[in-house]
Amino acid sequence: MKKYTVALLALTIVLILVSFCTLWFGDNIFQPILALTPLYFAIITGLMHYGVVKSFYKDPRTFVKNFLGITVGSLFLHLCVLFIWSLTHLQTAKIFILGFCICYVAYLVFETVALVLIVRNARQDNNKN
């Protein structure tokens, strides 16, 4: 879990720095809220990972069900955030949605790779025993 947390924080810092560079060197269309979007995703992804991994080690037979449930729940949360932002900030909705989707894909790939590595390592450990 320690390696995952360090990697998650590194990804978050990189994305925050990229968003600040875009704010600093970009046009006036960039929104400062996009600099905080990676922080939102880091929190949600960290909580998802904790729940899924805890579920996996508790009962591996229910891993798929729990993983899909948590993934659908987080996707619904992300869609609610996008919907509310789009309704309340019509002028900047396109830029926010674009930045939000980029962060979503980055954290989705990160979480998927981390879970694949955890499941693969657990299966290898079970095969050795």
What's the pLDDT tens digit per position in 118-129? 888 877 877 776
Token pair, residue 105, equals 């894909």
- Split at pLDDT 50, 70, 90, the class of 30 is low
* Pairwise pLDDT comparison (6 vs 29), residue with the higher score: 6
Q: What is the mean pLDDT of residues 108-126?
A: 85
Q: What is the pLDDT of residue 123?
A: 78
* pTM score of the predicted model: 0.81
Residue 85, amino acid: W
* Pairwise pLDDT comparison (25 vs 21), residue with the higher score: 21
Q: What is the pLDDT of residue 31?
A: 67
What does the DSSP 8-state code read for residue 59? Answer: -
Q: What is the pLDDT of residue 27?
A: 62
Question: Could you tell me the CA-to-CA distances from 104 to 20, 64, 101, 125 in Å, in that order?
Answer: 18, 21, 5, 31
